[in-house]
Amino acid sequence: MSDRPEMYEGVDTVWLDGEFVDFEDAQIHVLSHALHYGTGVFEGVRCYDTADGPAIFRWQEHLDRFYESAKPYDLEIPFEPAELTEATVELIRREELDSCYIRPIAFYGYGPLGLNPANAPTQVAIAVWPWGAYLGEEALEEGVDVAVSSWRKYASSQIPTNAKTTGPYVNSVLASLEATGNGYVEAIVLNKEGNVAEGPGENLFLVRDGELYTPGLAESILDGITRRSVIRLARDLGYTVHDGATISRGELYTADELFFTGTAAEVTPIRSVDDNEIGAGTKGPVTDEIQTRFFDLLEDPTDYEEWFHPV
């Protein structure tokens, strides 16, 4: 086996199909259905080092989305939510991690390779590893330079966009390769209609005249859990949030502020789009207030206690 990527250094155990196995033994067959056809669903979750100890952010919502993602594919996850919760908590404890990224995945495994997966078994794994800021610490402060991708987001009439399915992420991979290849940190993808959808792994918010706008669920976006959290936090801070917005490409360039949300990206300001400076070309005041509120929850979750699942 090739050298282990640095990000997984020190990780000893993975949970696979109901067992805790050694990291090196967490393997599957090359004829797994999901490897060929992308028939898996997954989650990305963060465990934070909070004032009350390690706690998983919005675990229940991620778990709900995990089972919901599986539905269109008739993928029956052969474990109860409580079993996956127990496995995840136990993994984090075993690895003695204060904060980490959690990756549950369920997929059609080794079986007949016909397109219909009915006779392939479902496999489930959970891995955890330490992970810092996805787009870098500096990105959280200064913002990122992004480009509108020439790749469109697939439409929800083609593939359910509210399901977090492995195969369709090739769309995000293409957008990301194009953006970074051209010297940008991240992409923004437009939907089939040409309106703003999201980032390859983030939802997008726009600030104009002190109000927030984010593309609605019918714009072929993932129903992001950080998006939901930010909508609630912003409203609780007194902001008007238009959560069913249709945003044209041109509106990106004239926005007062733009920011990404996501489990990995957290709340990341966007400082330019296609080399056009957004606002003052740095983190804007509304983004700053929401980002600060978001990270302050790790110290004091008052009113949002149900968002944290203690480890």
Ligand X SMILES: Cc1ncc(COP(=O)(O)O)c(C=O)c1O
Number of residues that bind ligand X (CB under 6 A): 14
* Catalytic residue check, 192: no
Residues 261 and 221: beta-carbon distance below 8 Å: no
CA–CA distance from 309 to each of 55, 86, 123, 155 (Å)? 5, 11, 25, 34
Residue tagged active-site, from 153, 164, 192, 283: 164
Residues 294 and 266: beta-carbon distance below 8 Å: yes
CB atoms within 10 A of CB 297: 21
Amino acid at 159: I
Which of 117, 224, 279, 301: binder of ligand X (CB under 6 A)? 224
Which of 40, 104, 143, 201: binder of ligand X (CB under 6 A)? 201
Task: Pick the closest to residue 161 from 203, 209, 119, 123 (CA basis).
Answer: 203
Least distance CB 165 / ligand X (angstroms): 10
Task: Pick the closest to residue 167 from 267, 286, 38, 270 (CA basis).
Answer: 38
Site string for ligand X, 162-181 (x = CB under 6 A): ----------x---------
Least distance CB 29 / ligand X (angstroms): 27
Q: Choose one: 32-40, 179-187, 231-239, 257-265; the region binding ligand X (CB under 6 A).
A: 257-265
- Crossing angle of helices 285-296 and 225-236, in 10° steps, is 110
Which of 40, 75, 154, 202: binder of ligand X (CB under 6 A)? 202
Site string for ligand X, 84-103 (x = CB under 6 A): --------------------
**Interface contacts to ligand X, rule CB under 6 A:** 44, 172, 198, 201-203, 222, 224-227, 261-263
Catalytic residues: 164
